[in-house]
Amino acid sequence: MDCIRIRGGNRLNGTIPISGAKNATLPLMIASLLSRETLTLKNVPNLADVSLLKRILGNHGVDHTVRGKRSAQEVVAGETVELSAREIVDTTAPYELVSRMRASFWVIGPLLARMGEARVSLPGGCAIGTRPVDFYLHGLQALGAELSVEGGYVEARAPKGLVGGRVIFPRVSVGATHTVMMAAALAKGETVIENAAREPEVVDVAECLMKMGAQIEGAGSREIHIEGVPSLSAAEHSVLPDRIETGTYAMAVAATGGEVTLTGARPDLLRAALDTLVEAGIDIAETNEGVRVARNGGPLKAVEVTTQPFPGFPTDLQAQLMALMARAEGTSHITETIFENRFMHVQELSRLGADIRLDGQTATIRGVEKLTGAQVMATDLRASVSLVIGGLAAEGETTVNRVYHLDRGFERLEEKLSACGAEIERVRA
């Protein structure tokens, strides 16, 4: 099993290109199921989750071609992927595929809307919490779906097609918003989604659906209105830049010192996180190329953060911020409100010398003078990259094991960091 070896202490200087957003790419690819015509997606990142979803969609009959494949040295431009779901050959999403990536459960919406039926495995457990699919199912029922759960599979039917309705989510859910919005695009009549997720990735999917001919208003607000249409057509869409990757590299620069321009980054997508870095003493500047991040010798200041749905501080940057605050002056507090088990990185950061105490869903981080390299183990995607940040800031050598988690969401991370002066390498098993 591969690992990543880091020798810490080097400042980061240079340029890091920001890839297309994984959290937008996956639902955009699933949206291809809604049309018989080709959906062309640009700026698609080369990630393990993207490759797996290509296989999952292929199981349903979606053909894909990749244009603009890059050499190992090219990390600037994303790939262009053409997805064609001219014929849906199977409306079952089997357990062996869905269990490997929760987002694949979202195929239930487009399959049900277009084919009038879907049989999709329940996704099972998740390392960072239970993440139930109840909201998804209640939303589809509000559109007239007949649902049952048998043998670990959701059996969904709408033999006469879905019908618009009012969907009220008791809690904000990005996945449920994606699923219901896609299903409603082909439903008869108007659908209103209340307490919808406002994340930029939801807006990106809505913009793509509108290019395909969907009638959607209000994406990015608490209430989304969708007027169903009989069919959707071909379209071309470029995936928005990854705000989580942007925040991650910004925190890496903050942890090591130096100055890096994150090209292609959009600061409007992660204003709360950038404001937190400014509060911590980091210089953030918007440029024509993206975002410039600099820390030139000044101390890190402790911060107080609570994760919230967009536009609040994202849960997907919580672990990275914790690694950064391990070296801050004073005491920081980070409260996690989205997922109940998202502090599994704490023990591994402690192996580097971090002083972190947990009290329920709040972590108290007392800054230390130095971190020291050690063997650590990744437990999930965001936890794994927090250990990379810790290793970059630590003295000596750090080895991060189980880096297959990283490959799910960070494209060529070690290449991007080493280009800016980090001493980091992947060690093949």
Domain ranges of the chain: 3-19+241-427, 22-238
Please give the average per-residue pLDDT across 260-285, as a whole number: 98
Contact assessment for residue 407 and residue 47, using Cβ atoms and an 8 Å cutoff = yes
The tens digit of pLDDT for each residue in 193-242 reads 999 999 999 999 999 999 999 999 999 999 999 999 999 999 999 999 99
The tens digit of pLDDT for each residue in 231-264 reads 999 999 999 999 999 999 999 999 999 999 999 9
Specify the pLDDT at position 339.
73
The residue among 376, 427, 220, 219 whose CA lies nearest residue 311 is 220
Contact assessment for residue 351 and residue 374, using Cβ atoms and an 8 Å cutoff = yes
Residue 23 annotated as lining a ligand binding site: yes
The percent of the chain in helix, strand and coil, each rounded to the nearest 5, is 35, 30, 35
Strand, coil or helix: 67: strand
The residue among 237, 274, 260, 290 whose CA lies nearest residue 392 is 260
For the chain, the average pLDDT equals 94
The residue among 376, 49, 11 whose CA lies nearest residue 244 is 49
Specify the pLDDT at position 130.
44
3-19+241-427 topology per CATH: UDP-n-acetylglucosamine1-carboxyvinyl-transferase; Chain (3.65.10)
Place of tokens 């200087």: 13
Distance CA(13)–CA(327), nearest Å, equals 20
The tens digit of pLDDT for each residue in 306-355 reads 999 999 999 999 999 999 999 999 999 999 998 766 788 999 999 999 99
Greatest alpha-carbon pair distance for the chain in Å reads 66
The residue among 286, 301, 207 whose CA lies nearest residue 246 is 286
Contact assessment for residue 192 and residue 223, using Cβ atoms and an 8 Å cutoff = yes
Distance CA(28)–CA(322), nearest Å, equals 31
Assign 125 a pLDDT band (cuts: 50, 70, 90): very low
Residue 407 annotated as lining a ligand binding site: no
> Does residue 76 register a pLDDT over 80?
no
Please give the average per-residue pLDDT across 299-311, as a whole number: 97
Distance CA(411)–CA(47), nearest Å, equals 6
Contact assessment for residue 379 and residue 354, using Cβ atoms and an 8 Å cutoff = no
Distance CA(302)–CA(296), nearest Å, equals 17
Catalytic residues: 126
The tens digit of pLDDT for each residue in 348-384 reads 999 999 999 999 999 999 999 999 999 999 888 778 9
Specify the pLDDT at position 129.
40
Residue 316 annotated as lining a ligand binding site: yes
Q: What is the pTM of this model?
A: 0.95
Please give the average per-residue pLDDT across 25-36, as a whole number: 98
> Does residue 74 register a pLDDT over 80?
no
Strand, coil or helix: 385: helix
22-238 topology per CATH: UDP-n-acetylglucosamine1-carboxyvinyl-transferase; Chain (3.65.10)
Establish whether domains 3-19+241-427 and 22-238 are of one fold. Answer: yes
Residue 160 annotated as lining a ligand binding site: no
Q: Which of 34-38, 80-84, 338-342 comes out lowest in average pLDDT? A: 338-342
Residue 301 annotated as lining a ligand binding site: no
Specify the pLDDT at position 68.
65
The tens digit of pLDDT for each residue in 149-184 reads 999 899 999 999 999 999 999 999 999 999 999 999
Specify the pLDDT at position 143.
98
